[in-house]
Chains A and B, each alone.
Chain A
């Protein structure tokens, strides 16, 4: 992928990611989240991970964002009123976040492989869906089945928690 497109999509992702944090209205935050994830999906595709990119769009734009919007509408949340900002806590939070990012960026910047280009791929005749799928049903068979149990837990949990208690 050309550097130009990479920085466009990365910038899109980061700017709208920051939008999630900065927006006062939950609906606007949810929509920024989706744009940010569209940028992320484009980055996945730039890394030749087409299947993961498509899954990302389907799951996040199709399911997770709808869930968020549904809950926001269900609870009828409006834009937040301006609250008194707790400056001490905010300064602490910003300081921790900045320290974390400086540290991560410093380490990545000095990282041995960081300046190497990506190795070229052989021209493959098989889709990556095929590769991911066969791994899922062979080497990753056990976690794949456990994920089923996990989804069962989520289902039970959601039903029990959001059911209205009859008195």
Chain B
């Protein structure tokens, strides 16, 4: 059994070993910072190869480690997101403590992979905590900046409260069903009616996840953390952590609590988790988009738009079923890649101009046409304009929601989402207007530092991300077909 565990957990093992090597290299000498990044990136690519060599189907320890095409696909996505974070960190952090930082990125990635690849509540809890603890430290990592420590603290406070709620919910679910394996919970729920106590457990678990995905009204940590944390940490929190949380949330509600879905249809509400998620989605879309209108800092703007996007993504889960889940997975993947790219641009602008307010972006198109082009692709994709990936993702989500319930029962939710998208167009275009139209105001002018602005590796990675977003918009079928085939 142990040999089999080692074989099936080989990607995780590779990442752990890489993390230890990076940690040791970082401790050895401060000049090895460049080498650390290289080793971390190589280890991640090696882990992708290990994922590809896994068998098609396997289950260990009653679902604690599950391998299906779906989990393999999302493990690869998490690893790739971590890879881009490592590239971002290479240029953005000072070389002091680089080894520790990269080790934390790698260890957080292990948490994400475990989350994605598990169908057991204990394992999911430990995965959440492993990811959470690494991300809290990453958010507070920059000790020269007071805001970073505050970002870490806020993220920590909200995150631990959320995990306390999840845990209390899990204890009721365990008590009522006698098991923590999702498949067994699902079976128990089909045979017996849902007890009120079990329902309390389900709702508390969902509240915990709503914190993780930053759905309103549990989003209060997001703006401060996105703005205050070091840019690579913020990018990883916004992308990797979110993708894994949505995969797990989908598995929990659809596999574990499937029979307790209820209905969020306007004319026929039935108690269950679907109305709870629908309310969260509607609130997130409205609050996120409306507050984003008032922001003057690009990172805060991205944070509030992240709240809104969490709302859109929840639509697929409310719809439920294979189609809804695939739509959610596709959208969250596209969103994660877009956001890593956007944070990459923010990092470069921040290094050139010393800030990330909207005014720091003015005149970016004349300074660096490449960055401006990438940023416009990311922003337009977030706004959901064709032919970019964000458009197809939204289209897929909305159509899944409309088709899921008879008589267009979810029309009210889709209408709110469309209204929100319309509002969001304004602030995304606002960013582009600043980049392309506004002249660089003299007050923010600081001498460009040519030695730091030319970072080819990062510009290449941004171009790749922009190309991915464009490609997934033109030919979404490549990823959608894979996801649909993987979701049983």
Contacts and interface: CB of A to CB of B under 8 A. Distances in A.
Interface of A: 103-104, 107-108, 110-112, 139-143, 146-147, 149-150, 152-154, 156-157, 159-161, 165
Contact of A157 (B2, B129, B136, B200): B136
B235 interface: no
A146 B134 CA distance: 13
Contact of A146 (B100, B104, B130): B130
B16 A160 contact: no
B146 to A, nearest CB: 12
Interface stretch (B72-80, B82-90, B137-145, B447-455): B137-145
Pick from A107, A142, A157, A161 the residue with the most CB of B within 10 Å. A142
B104 A111 contact: no
Given A139-B62, A143-B64, A143-B123, A157 B137 contact: yes
Contact of B2 (A110, A141, A156, A159): A141
A146 B61 contact: no
A156 B100 contact: yes
B195 A111 contact: yes
Given A111-B196, A150-B126, A141 B104 contact: no
A139 B61 contact: yes
B23 A156 contact: yes
Interface residues of B, number: 38
Contacts of A112: 195
A142 B60 contact: yes
A146 B136 contact: no
Contacts of A147: 126
A165 B65 CA distance: 40
Contacts of B5: 141-142
Interface in B1-58: 1-2, 5, 9, 16, 23
B286 interface: no
B107 interface: yes
SS of B interface (majority)? helix
Given A142-B5, A157-B136, A107 B61 contact: no
A67 to B, nearest CB: 15
Given A157-B104, A160-B97, A161-B137, A146 B196 contact: no
Contact of B197 (A108, A154, A160): A108
A110 B196 CA distance: 9
A25 B207 CA distance: 32
Contacts of A143: 64, 122-123, 126
A154 B152 CA distance: 14
A110 B198 CA distance: 12
SS of A interface (majority)? helix
B103 interface: yes
A110 B200 CA distance: 13
Nearest to B141: A160
A153 B107 contact: yes
A146 B133 CA distance: 13
A49 to B, nearest CB: 14
Contacts of A110: 196
A153 B19 CA distance: 10
A75 to B, nearest CB: 14
Nearest to A160: B100
A142 B107 contact: no
B195 A150 contact: no
A142 B141 CA distance: 29
5 contacts: A141-B61, A142-B65, A153-B104, A153-B130, A161-B152
Contacts of B136: 157
B133 A107 contact: no
B319 interface: no
Contact of A149 (B60, B61, B97, B130): B130
A30 to B, nearest CB: 18
A110 B195 CA distance: 10
A150 to B, nearest CB: 5
A142 B123 contact: yes
B401 to A, nearest CB: 30
Contacts of A165: 143-144
A149 B140 contact: no
